[in-house]
Structure 1
Amino acid sequence: MSDPREAFLAGEQPDDVALFLADSYVSDARLEQFGDRVDDGVLIVVDGERGRNAFRAATGTGAMEFAKSAMNLEGSIDDDLTDGQCPEASSDDGHAVQFVFAFAEEQNEDVGSIYAEGDVIHAYAQCTCGTAYSDRWNATDTAAR
């Protein structure tokens, strides 16, 4: 696959991370030179270290610290990594994704559950209401989500 986002979502780039930054959260045209312009923001797929540094620069938070705090609450993050459903929302009013941090984990049959079925995408989102939440799915299921 030549498209970095498609390759990432297929689980083919486990050393990379993906970042979605909503225009409403970070408005910097320079970001487009590092990623793809998508509806309402920019999606960047880069190697892990650069991605974690970019995440810290954009959000002021360490990527893994954010992921750790977000993993305590499950929500729904779109498989294209650019939107989601905040678990605190009773409607969409006042709830929108500000940013997403995601990484892929290679299949691990020893762990069991979804990890035995294939590569797993881990995604963590921050809502405009301040809620951080997580989602995960098998990369092979991305098109079916």
Structure 2
Amino acid sequence: MTDSKRDAFLAGERHEDVAFYLAEDAVDDLGKLRDYGVDVPDGIVIVVDGENGRNAFQTATGQDPMAFAKQAMAEDGTVHADLAGGDCPEGDGPDHAARFVFAFSEEQNEEVGDLYAEGDVIHAYAQCECGTAYSQKWVVGER
């Protein structure tokens, strides 16, 4: 995958896809995944069509992506705008590095209001080394 696929996702141009980040130590071997993602410091970011992406995320992490998202929504945190990690709300340092991030986008929807009226929205969910799951959403282009 080239960075352009991730750039298009972050620009709100790939609403049918999901994106996820995996830290090097979050899975046994990133080697096979490198053909499908972009190397980033400490891991890889992959953008894949929705169903295949959800299945790949679950296979790599052992977590159902939608159940994980629901859990992570209970805690606000900061997910990096490039999806390559996050800042755990419980602390910083190596014990608080993101193990993985799962993200999807939604098109602007003025009827819903709030952020959705302002533009396309990225939803991102992260799992920290310490076990804390957290989330952040933002309007495309505002980060």
TM-score, normalized by the shorter chain, greater than 0.5: yes
TM-score, normalised on structure 2? 0.94
Per-residue deviation, residues 41-99 of structure 1 (Å, max 9, x unmatched): 1110010000000011011111001000000100001100012111111x325110000
Superposed structure 1 runs of 4+ greater than 4 Å apart: none
Inter-partner Cα distance in structure 2 for 1:25 and 1:18: 16
Aligned to 1:20: 21
For residue 40 of structure 1, what is the aligned residue in structure 2?
42
Amino acid at match of 1:20: Y
Distance 2:141 2:94 in 1: 32
Paired with 1:136 and 1:78, the residues of 2 have a C-alpha distance of 11
Distance in 2 of aligned mates of 1:79 and 1:127? 16
Equivalent residue pairs, number: 140
Aligned sequence identity (%) = 57
Residue by residue over 1:1-60, the C-alpha shift from the partner in whole angstroms, topping out at 9 and shown as x without a partner, is x81100000111000000100001113201101111111111100100000000110111
Other-structure match for 1:4? 5
The TM-score, its normalising length taken from structure 1, stands at: 0.93
SS state at 1:94 partner: helix
Segments of structure 2 that go 5 or more residues without pairing to the other structure are none
Q: Which runs of 5+ in 1 are unaligned?
A: none
Q: CA RMSD in A?
A: 1.1
* AA partner of residue 94 (structure 1): D
